[in-house]
């Protein structure tokens, strides 16, 4: 099973959560890719979640993962996770 969360050359994804609804996530595109960045949340048959990101031409663009807790006073902050090439990040959402 997979859900598309981003398909754009700029801006950010809609807010999503993976496994733990107490943490909200979003992806933000930085720079100017020459093709749409596509991101999917995927679930394996063993219920492991992973994030798959791809772009036909990154052109040095980055995609940053932002996180926010469910606390009313919290705001989105950079997580330090930055994507700059096609990959499937299997380990992040164990």
Residue (of 89, 37, 90) closest to 60 by Cα position: 37
- CA-to-CA distance for 79 and 66, rounded, in angstroms? 5
- CA-to-CA distance for 89 and 94, rounded, in angstroms? 10
What digits encode the pLDDT tens for the residues 24-59? 999 999 999 999 999 998 877 777 778 889 999 999
* Between residues 82 and 93, the one the model is more confident about: 82
Does the pLDDT of residue 93 top 60, yes or no? no
Residue (of 61, 17, 64) closest to 36 by Cα position: 61
pTM of the model: 0.85
Q: Mean pLDDT, the chain, as a whole number?
A: 86
Per-residue tokens: 76: 């989105």
């Amino acid at each position: 099973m997979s859900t598309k969360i981003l398909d754009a050359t700029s801006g950010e994804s809609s807010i999503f959560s993976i496994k733990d609804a107490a943490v909200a996530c979003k992806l933000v595109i930085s720079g100017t890719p020459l093709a749409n960045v596509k991101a999917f949340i995927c679930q394996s048959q063993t219920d492991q979640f992973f994030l798959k990101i791809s772009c036909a031409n990154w052109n040095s663009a980055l995609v940053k993962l932002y996180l926010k807790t469910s606390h009313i006073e919290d705001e989105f902050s950079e997580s330090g996770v930055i994507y700059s090439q096609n990959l499937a990040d299997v380990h992040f959402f164990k």
